[in-house]
Structures are given as C-alpha cells and as structure tokens.
C-alpha cells in the first residue's frame, strides 16, 4: 500500500505542477475565508519568501520566471478579495491574461521575504489593467508588473458601473499609453507576417 501511495504522489508531481495547485488552493481559501473583502480601488497584498525552489542558475536570487508565477497568485488573490471574479462569472464572462510587462529593478536575494501589492490602475472597454509591485521589507520596489486582463463576453464599462468603489474611471497613465502603443505595433507587425 505504501508503494502505491508513493508511486501515485510521484506520478502527480511528474505530470502536474502539484505545488502550484496546492498554493492556489490556499491562496483562494485564505482570501475567501480569513481576510476581509476589499473594494476594487483598494490595494491588496500577499507575502512571499524566496526559497531554494525559486532561485535562478546562480542560486542566489529569485528567478525571473518566478515573478510571473508569484504575480499570478497575487492577481487571483486580488480577484477573490475584491469579489471581481464573482462579478465577472455572474454575467457569464471570463478573464484572460492578455499581456504582461515586467520591469526588474533589483534582485530579490535568496531567503528574502517580500510582498506583492496589487491594484487596479485603469480599464478600457475590453480589459482591466493591474499593477503589481514586488516590495522587500526595506521598502524598495524590486520589480513592477503591469498586466492587461482581457475580459471575454463582458463589457467592462457596464460591469464596473454596478460595482461600488469604481464610480470614477482612473486616468490612463503615460506608461500604459506607451505600452498599449507597443502592443499595437507588435500586433500590426505580426499581422503583416501572417
């Protein structure tokens, strides 16, 4: 019986990223059951710690790919705390990651704690724009992530007008305007190749 259990666990770890699903389960569970609800205009925070499983080839700092993974957990946490996911599902919609822009400013060394601050910074008729900051406890922003969350089967303006706390649409920052221009230039180039 012991061999069957060990084999089953080994197969799960070989074919699926079990740690990802365990972490996601606890992120959602804690956000739903043990933390107060937040408004869409609030900043939510989750905490992380750079372990030996997170480091790069030099074994001394957080791997660049881990930033994307950690931002994913923080974004889901934001959706749960603000109930945004519930609002989107209630109208039959989905949310998909449309684009991500990461600016790495300074490494997060191994065995260092950090927090990820997530907030909604802008929206247009098709997408939400989320900003996430990786901040160490010295207060330094180590990386900043902008993500474009495309909403499918949902008109963003009509969805948000019924949610308290987002009566006023934020101004589109220069940073987002330039980023959207870069995305459009890339799309035009790729369409021309096809």
**If residue 56 lies in a helix (H) or strand (E), which one and from where to where?**
none
Positive or negative, the CA dihedral 72, 78, 84, 85 is: positive
Name the residue with tokens 């920052």. Answer: 173
User: What is the spatial order of strands in the sheet that 141-152 belongs to?
Assistant: 44-49, 113-123, 127-136, 141-152, 94-104
Q: Taking 80 as the threshold, does the pLDDT of residue 70 lie above it?
A: yes
pLDDT digits (tens, 9 = 90+) for 138-162: 999 999 999 999 999 998 988 888 7
| The listed CATH number (3.40.50.1000, 3.30.70.20, 3.40.50.150, 3.10.129.10) that belongs to domain 35-193 | 3.10.129.10
Among 40-44, 120-124, 189-193, the minimum mean pLDDT is found in: 189-193
Q: Taking 90 as the threshold, does the pLDDT of residue 58 lie above it?
A: no
What is the mean pLDDT of the segment spanning 68-78?
97
What is the mean pLDDT of the segment spanning 114-143?
97
* Cβ-based neighbour number of residue 97 at 10 Å: 14
CB 56 within 8 A of CB 64: yes
What is the mean pLDDT of the segment spanning 71-97?
94
**If residue 44 lies in a helix (H) or strand (E), which one and from where to where?**
strand 44-49
* Cβ-based neighbour number of residue 83 at 10 Å: 16
Pick from 188, 72, 84, 97: nearest CA to 149: 97
Average pLDDT across the chain, whole number:
93
pLDDT digits (tens, 9 = 90+) for 20-57: 999 999 999 999 999 999 999 999 999 999 999 999 88
Q: Is the pTM of this model over 0.85?
A: yes
Residues 6+ away with beta carbon under 8 Å from 74: 44, 46, 116, 118, 132
Pick from 90, 86, 176, 174: nearest CA to 128: 176
Q: Taking 80 as the threshold, does the pLDDT of residue 93 lie above it?
A: yes
Q: Taking 90 as the threshold, does the pLDDT of residue 193 lie above it?
A: no
Phi, psi of 41 (to 5 degrees): -90, -5
Long-range Cβ contact pairs of 36-39 (< 8 A, separation 24 or more): 36/81, 37/81, 37/82, 37/83, 38/78, 38/81, 38/82, 39/82, 39/164, 39/165, 39/166
Residues 6+ away with beta carbon under 8 Å from 92: 153, 154
Q: Taking 90 as the threshold, does the pLDDT of residue 95 lie above it?
A: yes
How large a percentage of the chain has pLDDT more than 90? 79
pLDDT digits (tens, 9 = 90+) for 171-188: 999 999 999 999 999 999
């Amino acid at each position: 019986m012991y061999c069957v259990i060990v084999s089953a666990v080994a197969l799960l770890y070989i074919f699926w990223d079990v740690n990802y699903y365990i972490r996601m389960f606890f992120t959602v569970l804690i956000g739903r059951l043990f933390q107060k609800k937040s408004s869409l205009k609030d900043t939510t925070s989750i905490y992380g710690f750079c372990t030996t499983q997170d480091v790069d080839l030099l074994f001394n700092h957080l791997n660049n790919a881990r930033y994307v993974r950690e931002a994913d957990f923080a974004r889901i946490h934001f959706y749960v705390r603000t109930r945004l996911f519930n609002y989107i599902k209630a109208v039959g919609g989905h949310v998909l990651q449309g684009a991500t822009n990461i600016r790495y400013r300074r490494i997060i060394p191994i065995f260092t704690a950090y927090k990820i601050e997530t907030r909604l910074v802008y929206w247009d008729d098709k997408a939400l724009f989320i900003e996430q900051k990786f901040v160490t406890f010295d207060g330094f922003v180590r990386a900043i992530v902008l993500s474009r969350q495309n909403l499918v089967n949902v008109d963003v303006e009509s969805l948000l007008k019924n949610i308290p706390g987002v009566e006023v649409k934020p101004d589109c920052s220069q940073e987002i305007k330039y980023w959207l221009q870069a995305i459009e230039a890339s799309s035009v180039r790729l369409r021309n190749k096809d």
